[in-house]
Structure 1
Amino acid sequence: MSKKHFYVIGFGALILFDTFTQVCFKLASAHAGEFALTSLWLHEIVFGPWIYGAVLGYCGAFITWMTLLKHAPIGPAFAASHLEVITVLAISVMYFGEHLSLTQVFGGLCIVAGIIFLSMSETEQAH
């Protein structure tokens, strides 16, 4: 497998794991209801199915991240690891009916632009 394929698959998996984790946290919160530091609320969180999905997502993300760090340059890897912000925003709009402000859209574009610029600078340094 070429390095390019390794990075695409690795970062794709990392984004999927991180996005899955954040969506599971959202669903766990919705399942448990409004925050109240009571035994009933804690029971709903601890024994609800979504919190286990979040833990599994974190485990998958950790393993994927550690594997990527062995091979990928740290600057672009760190930046690309934050692409889940974009995917979580998109899922929040599509599936949870949330609305994006212009500031959030601009921030998402800045994240993507930063990752592109970091990747381009890393490519130029390699040559």
Structure 2
Amino acid sequence: MKRFYILGFLSLIFFDTLAQVSFKYASIHAEPLAMDVAWLVRVFGHPWIYGAFVGYIGAFFTWMTLMKHAPIGPAFAASYLELISVTLVSVWLFNDTLTIPKVIGGLLIVAGILCLARQESPEKKGATWQPNLDESA
């Protein structure tokens, strides 16, 4: 099951990063922004917009699969690893600057994920929440 989580979250990071990078490239190639038919032709005539669609669809199905099996706390926190991956890919592809606040933010994200994952007790792993229908509100 641990391999499932690792592969699942790596897939989620991949699809999320693909979507964001594809949108960036699509916006670069669609300039100048104008709400007209010519602009729409530029946007949908470039393959990067389809990479964004693939990224979002892939991320959606990966996320839904993970939510079916993963503990919600660490899973939700781990979804923020996308911020780190997009930042690093943006430094590489778009010459963005890696600043000290970005590095600190990334480290805090990783620390938060590790804290939440560590807090999950072994007996809670695999358990699903069931509403107590016998309680009166």
For normalisation by structure 2, the TM-score amounts to 0.83
Map 1:10-25; keep pairs closer than 5 Å.
Answer: 10-25=8-23
**Per-residue CA distance 1:32-71 (angstroms, 9 max, x = gap):** 1243334322321133211111001111111111111110
Deviation at 1:107, TM superposition (A): 1.1
Whichever structure has more helix as a proportion of its residues is 1
- The correspondence for 1:77, drawn from 68, 75, 78, is 75
- Residue in 2 that maps onto 1:120: 118
Deviation at 1:124, TM superposition (A): 6.5
- Residue in 1 that maps onto 2:61: 63
Matched, 1:94 2:83: no
- Residue in 2 that maps onto 1:30: 28
**Rounded Cα–Cα distance in structure 2 between residues aligned with 1:123 and 1:50:** 42
Structure 1 gap ranges (5+): none
Deviation at 1:101, TM superposition (A): 2.1
Structure 2 gap ranges (5+): 126-137
Quote the RMSD (CA, aligned, Å): 1.7
**Rounded Cα–Cα distance in structure 1 between residues aligned with 2:33 and 2:109:** 31
The DSSP-based 3-state class of the residue aligned with 2:120 is helix
Aligned residue pair count: 125
For normalisation by structure 1, the TM-score amounts to 0.89
User: Structure 1 residues 64, 33: closer, same or farther in 2, change over 3 A?
Assistant: same
State the percentage of identical aligned residues: 54
